[in-house]
Amino acid sequence: MEHVHRPRRRSPRRRVLGVRLHGLRRRDQRGAREVPGPRRRRRHRRAGRPVRRSPAARLPGDGHHTARDGSVGPWWDRLPHFPIESVPSHGSEVQSEHFVPLRHAAAALDALRWLADRIQPHLHVCELRTMAADDLWLSPTQGEDVLCIAFTWQKHPEAVAALLPDLEARLAPFDGRPHWGKMSSLDGDAIAELYPRVADVRELIARADPDRTFASAFGERVLRA
């Protein structure tokens, strides 16, 4: 019986959202040129050819930003996004920061998207990070792991103060706790609902400082103490 050679059939190259997966060549964010994907980068390394990267991935460190060029350095110069010895972020700014349980992360971010048109004109940058749970009485991570939603705003304190009540109302269904040292519109009643040990804190303050030596307007507003 005569053997008939059948050429091997290649699977078609797939496209997802306009990206050619076979070879994994894709555009960088600026659309200026194609950037090699992981498979092509490996072939370039084996062949000893240089690998082109997106411009944002090649930035060296400077006085205000941590290096993003893959260079080796001590952990304290690579983990922070702002160098320790520098002025963080822009310097001329105001900030707000809220902590929501990690299980609510996606829903909380979706809720904030409705305010995007009001947020954007006043925003420098938004930072998202996760933090592990602890059992400290006034810790924003008390009880469970959280997503931190941090906004670094342009120095528009009046506009940000006007926006915060709506922003915090959006986060209220997800028990969004504000950062103690940043802008917030929440008062003592709202804070008490978010921190189950507030009553213990008030009792401790009354016992340790009966003469109100360390009392302040801020403490009275947010802790009712």
- pLDDT of 97: 97
How far, in Å, CA of 179 to CA of 170, rounded?
A: 16
Which strand ranges, in their side-by-side order, compose the sheet holding 146-154? 123-131, 146-154, 93-101, 177-178
Task: Determine how β-strand 123-131 pairs with β-strand 146-154.
Answer: antiparallel
The Cα 99–Cα 187 span in angstroms is: 16
CATH architecture of 93-223: 2-Layer Sandwich (3.30)
* Nearest residue to 191 via CA among 216, 167, 220: 220
Does residue 171 contact residue 100 with C-beta atoms inside 8 Å? yes
Q: Tokens 């917030």: give the residue.
A: 184
Residues of the chain with CATH 3.30.70.2520: 93-223
Q: What is the pLDDT of residues 55-98, one digit of tens each?
A: 444 566 666 667 767 788 887 777 666 677 776 666 688 999 99
Separation in Å, CA 9 to CA 15, 20, 189, 197: 18, 19, 69, 67
Please, are residues 145 and 130 in contact by the beta-carbon 8 Å criterion? yes
- pLDDT tens-digit profile, the chain (225 residues): 555 555 555 444 433 333 333 333 333 333 444 444 445 555 545 555 554 544 444 566 666 667 767 788 887 777 666 677 776 666 688 999 999 999 999 999 999 999 999 999 999 888 899 999 999 999 999 999 999 999 999 999 999 999 999 999 999 999 999 999 999 999 999 999 999 999 999 999 999 999 999 999 999 999 988
Token readout for 110 is 């979706």
Do 97 and 151 form a contact (C-beta atoms < 8 A)?
Answer: yes
